[in-house]
Amino acid sequence: MIEPLVLKGFRDSLPGEEIPKKKIQRKLEDVFESYGFVPIDTPVLEYENVLLGKGGGETDKQIFHFEDNGGRKVAMRFDLTVPFARFLALHHDELAIPFKRYHIAKAFRGENPQKGRYREFIQCDFDIVGCDNAASDFEILSIMNSSFLAMGIKNVQFHVAHRGLFNDFLSSIGIEEKSVDVLRCVDKLRKIGKNEVKKLLVDITGNEEKSESILKYITSGDGHQFDETLDILSKLIGKETESLFRMRQIYSLLLQAGIADKFIYDASITRGLDYYTGIVYETFLTDIESIGSVCSGGRYNNLASLYTKENLPGVGASIGLDRLMAALIELKSPLVSDTSNADILIFPKPDETQKALKAAMDLRKMGIRTDVYLLPEKKMKAQYDYAAKNRIRHSLTFFDSSYIVKNLETRDSVTVDSLEEVASLCR
Amino acid sequence: MIEPLVLKGFRDSLPGEEIPKKKIQRKLEDVFESYGFVPIDTPVLEYENVLLGKGGGETDKQIFHFEDNGGRKVAMRFDLTVPFARFLALHHDELAIPFKRYHIAKAFRGENPQKGRYREFIQCDFDIVGCDNAASDFEILSIMNSSFLAMGIKNVQFHVAHRGLFNDFLSSIGIEEKSVDVLRCVDKLRKIGKNEVKKLLVDITGNEEKSESILKYITSGDGHQFDETLDILSKLIGKETESLFRMRQIYSLLLQAGIADKFIYDASITRGLDYYTGIVYETFLTDIESIGSVCSGGRYNNLASLYTKENLPGVGASIGLDRLMAALIELKSPLVSDTSNADILIFPKPDETQKALKAAMDLRKMGIRTDVYLLPEKKMKAQYDYAAKNRIRHSLTFFDSSYIVKNLETRDSVTVDSLEEVASLCR
């Protein structure tokens, strides 16, 4: 006998989890499609050097990699961004540009599992590649907003910033050469708080006044609306810059769309990753901010440059479905609590199985998702246990030529004469 | 620069392929759900010994396996059946029994790629576990029929047989001890033809008459209806057996459901795999039989016995989505040719982008999937090329306060005054 173990950091998805996961995925796909976005897929396994790029080193231990039977060094994808860059380099001639794509798929990391983090997880990415303008930046923000609306999440706030604007500011106070260290430090604001960030900034800049100025910059959005913050930043920088103009354009589009109140300019958002070059953003659920950002991304203007000389500017965002699921559970969303795949369950007596299978066929034709309990010889307790585990709301039993429909929550029964009436009781 | 290569035997899925693949998947999920089936998922990566069972040897070279960073021997799943057996053993206490589940996911094999076979492929499995009766056998067959109907495939024939019935027959002619060799030989009928099978049978049985008799048995369905064949087999065996009774029950359910004409009893269907113990079946598209079986399966009464002492009889089927896609392409199915994710594309002039983004929002609220061309400064050719590559049917341009909707197939234009009218032209 072999022990039926699952690897550390991996897990099975049982129906109670998989049903809502599929529902969420469909809702997201419907949103992407309403914007004309198209799906792609890439292999789980790729050449190791393709996935790691010039990198290697530390990342190595984080990814699943091995030598295949043909002696090739291969690795399992650890995100959907790198495979997308490779995909763009390989196929850009075949694609409609601007290329608006989404990709929902599993990725794998060998890191030590932490609370809520697994070695296998589902990413959901959407990007526009082939243009660098406010309209494409806006469209991604608009999809983010539509996605959370589609999931019934109203209390959401999008924190937006611009990498270029931060650089404009650092230039204005004469420390642009320290931007990498400063950005990395500022990124920690949420975690370590103002005082600690201030200390670190003094270490980096060696200047109390400049550190105070940076702190003022990154907290400039506090309590202000998006456009007010832009005015404050303009004054801090001392002039209107290209990045500022882009942000004003984006804000005007958000305003026109009637969704500006969900966006704030939060200059402390820098995103750790090197490849971002313009707008960056994170998404917080105001009822459970502690869960962290549930949707992040930004503009990158050189993503595929490792693989091609083609200039492919892009902007996009990524939703971690596992974290989103956790959030929806905490918010007690109906999306995750309604985990039934059947509207009604027929309980036949042992000699009624054939009749039950026929009634099921007829109900399905009327659009009613119908399950038949296939062990009619079992005791009632087993039957009701089956209904409860599958969270099915109605049961159907036969009585002569009548049908008894029972609401399994309220325990109320109704006797009707036709399957049409049964169907309408389930709707 | 790194060459953006994909591994041998793997491939990217571009939108033209991924859009129909997602549509097919949704249709199948909707069918499964209408029967109350629930989805599950399992990890791509598992312990090697769990996936290989007692096996090993030859299978070894066919699967992707390696040692992870923690020194564990792991492997990528090569089908969805073995992980399901492991899943059942681990979770049967938590599941509603009978457990009716489906699972659509990728599996991986290291075998040498052949025409239409890849190292990464999508399987779609559906099973009922926890009962051994005609009703559950029937329900799987019924879902198979509903699935092909949902995909608009009418010309389909399900070839059904029963492993036990074949054994009954072999006993009746006194060669039950050679059943494994005989079954393996009979399985080749479609490939090598009657004459070659006959020769092999003579080699196995050492008896001309018995070989002739087996050949008569396996071709007994030719030109006969399901129930006629059962009568012929009953005579060949010389008595009614339990397996025969089960097949008569199943036939009566198929008859009641009005789908019996799509099923034939084809005694040459044996399915190579050892784990089948009852009914077995394959599915052929009568317009393109050469493509082989597109949906196969059967009853297995000891699937999880490697991992648990719990008795978990099951019946199920598996659809190879890649082969099904190939079939739908060959059949010129609308499911695979309609590969657009947008109903209309707005072409703004450079100063109309803001107006276009607003109109898009409004059209989406009316349920129209709306794309906006985001490079308005490009030439007309680039714009129409974009529409063609995305196979979008309608374009929208602005003229003063009017809207011009162009059907991009017929090139006809209509001018209307409201977005409501634009929407109704797209429906």
For A47-57, what is each residue's pLDDT tens digit? 999 999 865 55
B414 touches chain A (CB under 8 A): no
ipTM above 0.90, yes or no: yes
Q: Per the CB < 8 Å rule, is A67 touching B66?
A: yes
Neighbours of A334 (CB within 10 A): 10
Per the prediction, chain B carries an average pLDDT of 94
Half-sphere exposure of A53 (CA within 13 A, CB side): 15
Q: Per the CB < 8 Å rule, is A252 touching B354?
A: yes
A110 touches chain B (CB under 8 A): yes
Mean pLDDT of B86-109: 97
- Which chain B residues are within 8 Å of A127, Cβ to Cβ? none
State residue A172's pLDDT score. Answer: 94
**Bridge-based pairing state of the strands B370-372 and B344-346:** parallel
Task: Give CA–CA dist A390/A382, Å, rounded.
Answer: 12
State residue A113's pLDDT score. Answer: 66
Q: Per the CB < 8 Å rule, is A389 touching B139?
A: no
Q: Per the CB < 8 Å rule, is B43 touching A12?
A: yes
Task: Give CA–CA dist B406/B408, Å, rounded.
Answer: 6
Task: Give contacts of A 287-306 with B, CB under 8 A.
Answer: 306
**Torsion sign (Cα): B330, B336, B339, B343:** positive
- Which chain B residues are within 8 Å of A307, Cβ to Cβ? 1-4
Residue with tokens 């003094």: A202
State residue B58's pLDDT score. Answer: 54
Mean pLDDT of B309-319: 95
Higher-confidence residue of A117 and B378: namely B378
Neighbours of A189 (CB within 10 A): 19
Give the amino acid at B200: L
Give the amino acid at A416: V
Task: Give contacts of B 52-81 with A, CB under 8 A.
Answer: 53, 61, 64, 66-70, 72, 74, 76
Yes or no: say if A350 and A376 are a contact pair by the CB < 8 Å rule.
yes
Residue with tokens 């050892």: B274
Q: Per the CB < 8 Å rule, is A69 touching B120?
A: no
- Give B236's contacts (C-beta < 8 A, 6+ positions apart): B169, B172, B213, B216, B217, B220
Mean pLDDT of B209-222: 93
Q: Per the CB < 8 Å rule, is B35 touching A361?
A: no
Which residue numbers in chain A have pLDDT < 70? Answer: 54-60, 113-116, 273
Chain B residue with Cα closest to A37: B341
Whether the pLDDT of residue B272 is over 80: the answer is no
Q: Per the CB < 8 Å rule, is B357 touching A257?
A: yes
- Which chain A residues are within 8 Å of B39, Cβ to Cβ? 15, 18-19, 22, 341
Residue B323's nearest CA partner among B85, B183, B151, B139 is B151
A98 preceded by cis ω (within 30°)? yes
B255 touches chain A (CB under 8 A): no
pLDDT tens, B289-308? 888 999 999 999 888 999 99
CB pairs under 8 A between A and B: 291
B268 Cα to chain A: minimum distance (Å): 29
Whether the pLDDT of residue B26 is over 60: the answer is yes
Residue A322's nearest CA partner among A281, A363, A294 is A294
Q: How confident is the model at residue B271 (pLDDT cuts 50, 70, 90)?
A: confident
Strand-pair partners of B427: none
Whether the pLDDT of residue B167 is over 90: the answer is yes
Tell me if residue B338 falls in helix, strand or coil: coil
Retrieve residue A413's tokens. Answer: 């029964």
Q: What are phi and psi of B120, to 5 degrees?
A: -125, 125
- Closest CB to B47 among A7, A86, A389: A7
State residue A255's pLDDT score. Answer: 97
H helices present in A173-277, as ranges? 179-186, 189-205, 208-218, 226-237, 242-256
pLDDT tens, A262-282? 999 999 998 876 789 999 999
State residue A54's pLDDT score. Answer: 61
Residue A99's nearest CA partner among A53, A131, A51 is A131
State residue B338's pLDDT score. Answer: 85
Q: Per the CB < 8 Å rule, is A7 touching B253?
A: no
State residue B260's pLDDT score. Answer: 97
